Amino acid sequence: MQTWLLPVLFFAFTTSQLTAACPYPNATLANSSTPVPTPPYNTTASSSPELVPDSSVAPPPVAPASSPPPACSSAYPTSLRQMRSQYPDQVYRSHYYFNIIRQIEDSFQIATQVQFTDLPGDAYNCRLQLVVPGPKTSRIGGPNPVVAIWNVVRAHGDAAAWRSFEGRNKSLDGMGIGVLEPWRTVNLTEVALQKNGPGNSIELGGMRCNGTLTWQMGMLSPGNENGTNAWDFLNVGPTATPIQGFRIVHSC
């Protein structure tokens, strides 16, 4: 064999071996005119290619951060004071006994002032609620037991007397202005018929928060020959039970 044929045979043998080793059916050497299959990822242009995410694929949406609503805070009366029509200048001591009475032709009346003090300075969204007393811990009487509520401005620890009661008939005192319109009314007969029984709360209304909040309450109308309009119970807050009566819910 001629010696000049050896390089030609070696080149042909080497090329056939490289072509057989390639795993892609259409692949050739990099210098071939046939394209090499594209891998399923992008590579950088650096000398050492690295896998990078495909920029054409949108990332999954991120849920916005959320926080649970703030828990409500509650405040219970610091004092309840009776105001009696028979003794218009008499100041009664503070207690937790709620009692309102209105007899026929207004022959005798008792109203009660309910005061909340020392509410936090950052309190907001204050609402007055009534936690319905049970039938064994309260008494309701009369032909028309509708409670009238007046929201009033009074000093911390105000010593209430009948003459300071906003629900009295001021014309009887020579003031000539009668009775002021109440802030809210509560029909106790309707309350008793509601599905929300004892221990459930009834929203009475909201007001601007303040360190001291005061309400005065009495019967909306006098009794008649069928009886005296009246309501009484013990206003109870934590940690005693059962919780019942008036409270303020705020900051939620």
Domain boundary assignment for the chain = 79-250
Q: Give yes or no for a contact between 209 and 125, defined as CB atoms under 8 angstroms apart.
A: yes
CA 250 to CA 71: how far, in whole Å? 9
Q: Of 4-13, 125-134, 177-186, which range is least confident?
A: 4-13
pLDDT digits (tens, 9 = 90+) for 176-191: 455 688 999 999 987 7
Question: How much is the pLDDT for 32?
Answer: 44
- pLDDT confidence band for 165 (50 / 70 / 90): very high
pLDDT digits (tens, 9 = 90+) for 53-97: 555 666 666 656 666 667 899 999 999 999 999 999 999 999 999
Over residues 189-202, mean pLDDT: 71
Over residues 39-58, mean pLDDT: 51
Question: How much is the pLDDT for 104?
Answer: 94
Q: Give yes or no for a contact between 106 and 96, defined as CB atoms under 8 angstroms apart.
A: no
- Annotate 43-96 with DSSP letters as a single string: E-SSSS--EE--TTSPPPPPPPP--PPPPPEEE--SEEEEEETTSTT--PPPBS
The structure's pTM equals: 0.70
CA 94 to CA 83: how far, in whole Å? 11
